[in-house]
A and B are shown apart, each in its own frame.
Chain A
Amino acid sequence: MRVSGEIVYAVSIPPNRESDPRPMSSPNPAADTFTVAGRAYRSRLLLGTGKYKDLDETRRAVEASGAQIVTVAVRRTNIGQTPNEPSILEVLPPERYTILPNTAGCYDAKTAVRTCRLARELLDGHKLVKLEVLGDEKTLFPDVVATLEAAEELIADGFDVMVYTNDDPIMAKRLEEIGCVAVMPLAAPIGSGLGIRNRLNILTIVENAKVPILVDAGVGTASDAAVAMELGCDGVLMNTAIAAARDPVLMASAMRKAIEAGREAFLAGRMPAKRFASASSPLEGMFF
């Protein structure tokens, strides 16, 4: 039988990112923030608000997650139906949360730009948006060419663009260079819950970046979120992993802890992984 001499690294490649703080001797969680579009956030968990049972469950999940940034979609008003139905912005007031309107469902640059302009009007000139331009319905992978085109137009029009993209270091860098305020590579297809499919690409994207990198889409459970943070990501945006859990509010709490644990592990700097054992008790002073 052939035995490989290589260590199989799981998450053990130490990140090497100059812009990130190095290990702190006494971590002060209150001071550990990330900044996007000039505003600092304590919570590194960003929440999508789709697929919940009702608005009350949405509210309870957001509260349990500790999220400060929540995404919303922009859709047609239901005319003549349930006129007194509460709206998502009543449940998640813009005075309390940073509302991040998305362009979900857009398959071309023009529609995505229209959606962002409507969202800016809807939110009284709020110019932070989450851009996603999708390529096909089966994978919901981004159309990166159309994404780049839409991002350029939005930035020229004064928007702060947080952009959903593939786990491709070259495209991530291009999107940063044209002025996106955050780059958000997918971990796996939207809503798949497959976890981080290409850790090394996410790591490379993080190492190259001067803007916040957030994993957006594809995490399935708490350990996936912790891995993203251990790789040095600034945050994670998720929706289905919480909304489709058996108990979404409990999963929101689990995700909050996973994000915090992963972040602290990243700051602490993990030990190098080794193939063979290393005794934890002293080898000196043995009397037997």
Chain B
Amino acid sequence: MKISVNGRSTEVPDGIVMSALLASLELTGQRLAVEVNEELVARSRFEEHRLASGDRVEIIHAVGGG
């Protein structure tokens, strides 16, 4: 299925869970926060949060800023 990850269309296995998506992007264990369709997904729910076709995923982190 196709989802959007940080604005880029991405092909992922059907019904992939968030933790698996992050592992496939080599982001496991990094300090980040995630929202799907503009709703926050808590870190504690990464193992269970199943993605659906067309989901818009944003993976964010802290950067320098004033």
Contact = CB atoms under 8 A, between A and B. Distances in A.
A206 B56 CA distance: 44
Interface string B13-38: 00000000000011100111111001
Contact of B65 (A79, A89, A102, A122): A102
B61 to A, nearest CB: 5
Contact of B64 (A51, A80, A119): A51
Q: Report whether over half of chain A's contact residues are helix, strand or loop; otherwise say mixed.
A: mixed
Interface string A41-52: 000000011111
Interface residues of B, number: 26
Nearest to A217: B66
Interface string B31-66: 111110010101100000000000000111111111
A174 interface: no
Contacts of A117: 35, 40
A162 to B, nearest CB: 13
B9 interface: no
A119 B33 contact: yes
A118 B64 contact: no
Interface stretch (A16-24, A70-78, A248-256): A70-78
Nearest to A103: B65
B35 A114 contact: yes
Contacts of B32: 77, 122
Contacts of A102: 65-66
A71 B59 CA distance: 20
B31 A89 contact: yes
Contacts of B61: 74-77, 87, 122
A240 interface: yes
B40 A121 contact: yes
A55 interface: yes
B48 to A, nearest CB: 16
Contacts of B12: none
Interface of B: 5-8, 25-27, 30-35, 38, 40, 42-43, 58-66
Interface of A: 48-52, 55, 58, 71-77, 79-80, 83, 87-89, 99, 101-102, 104, 114, 117-119, 121-123, 190, 237-240, 243
